[in-house]
Structure 1
Amino acid sequence: MKLYYAPLACSLADHIALLEAGMQFEREQVDLRTKRTATGRDITEITGKSYVPALVLDDGEVVTENIAVLDWIAGRYPALGLEGPLGRTRLLEALTFISTEIHRAFKPFWHNRSVAEKAHAAETINRHMQYFSDRMRGDYLLGDHPSVADFYLFVMLLWAQRFGVTIPEEIVALGDRLSRRAAVREAMSVEGLL
């Protein structure tokens, strides 16, 4: 199995989750500007898309899109998911909210938009983070152990820090707890983020 990632991209969540699950995998960095992997391949040859994450399974199947990769990992390592009749549904609900609302809200910061657009985005991000803060059910987003949703939110916290976006204290504390986990430190070290 091989993970194609780019440093500080949302693929960091997949990187962390694979390590947290103890899965054996290779990893290869992708330069998102040139669309080239560290070995010189065009990422679109691997995924049909020009971005990460891409997880190539042992049988050659390729899983793309952060929610799908994280769901696949949680399906193989249930400790990173949620138990109960609505467990998978609640996990997908959290992952989708992070992807469609929080991740997307960072667009003005990545695309050098106006100060007003960035200010509006920062307010939106803070409001969405507050949603999670108000609903935390333990030390982590969805309970007393981390799920793949926590790892995705962690990447969003790194982005908030990078762009100076204020986030609720409870979510800052969540990020601090996550940053002390061995899998998080290893993934960040490999990606040159420490």
Structure 2
Amino acid sequence: MKLYYSPGACSLAPHIVASEAGIDLALEKVDLKEKKTADGRDYFAINPKGSVPAIELDSGDVLSEGPAIDQYLADLKPESGLAPANGTWARYQLQSMLNYISTELHKSYSPLFNPATPDATVVERKAYLQKRYALLEAILAKQPWLMGDHFTVADAYLFTVTRWAKAVHVDLSAFTALEAFQKRVAERPAVQKAMLAEGLITSGQVKA
């Protein structure tokens, strides 16, 4: 199974999930500007959406969209506890959280990476993100992970998108529980393994 990724992009979340679950993935880096894979192929021929992540199964089937991939990987290793069983109330709660992160956070960051975005829109999006993070801050002030006492795919996704805040100057310093959460996730060995593989940290930054 192969993961098409770009370092630090939202594809980091399924990379973390696979690492946490002990699933070996072949990695194929994608140049998102040129829409080319590292070996020179047209990425649109693999994923017509042109975005990462995408996973290619041994059968040749391709699955895109991070939250769907996260759940697929978790379901391959249910013993990992990364996602509750399908059909349970807890699974629907997880899907609700994944949708929240996707629509309220992930997509709100997108215009902040575009230098053509008007200043007024930048200000509005940053204020919007502050409001949406407030809900998660209240949750994380009461429990270590988004869904309770266990790390799940939702935590991998939140960690990934929240890492973007510094790059686009979104001030999250008031959210102390969120900051503590980011640190907890970053210190997980499986997370460090994925980040090291993407070149986001060096071997000297890996904690024992």
TM range (shorter): over 0.9
> For structure 2, which runs of at least 5 residues remain unmatched after alignment?
202-208
Match of 2:123 in 1: 119
Q: Which runs of 5+ in 1 are unaligned?
A: none
Moved over 6 A (4+): none
C-alpha distance in structure 2 between counterparts of 1:179 and 1:20, whole Å: 12
Letter in 1 for 2:98: L
Alpha-carbon separation, structure 2, partners of 1:24 and 1:48: 25
Tell me if structure 1 keeps the 8 A contact 2:113–2:168: no
Q: CA deviation at 1:48?
A: 2.0
Change (3 A) 1:138 1:82: farther
In structure 1, the residue matched to 2:89 is 86
- 1:99 corresponds, among 88, 93, 102, to 102
Q: Structure 1: how far apart are the matches of 2:53 and 2:46?
A: 11
Correspondence 1:1-194 to 2 at 5 A = 1-78=1-78, 79-82=81-84, 85-112=88-115, 113-136=117-140, 138-167=143-172, 168-194=175-201
Q: What is the aligned length? A: 194
**TM-score calculated relative to the size of structure 2:** 0.88
- Percent same amino acid at aligned positions? 38
Q: Which amino acid aligns with 1:87?
A: A
Query: 2:101–2:158: 8 Å Cα contact kept in structure 1?
Result: yes
SS of residue matched to 2:166: helix
Secondary structure, counterpart of 2:148 in structure 1: coil
TM-score (norm: length of structure 1)? 0.94
Which protein is richer in helix relative to its size? 1
Q: Deviations over 1:40-95 (max 9, x none)?
A: 11111112221111101122211101111011112222310136831211111111
1:140 deviates by 0.8
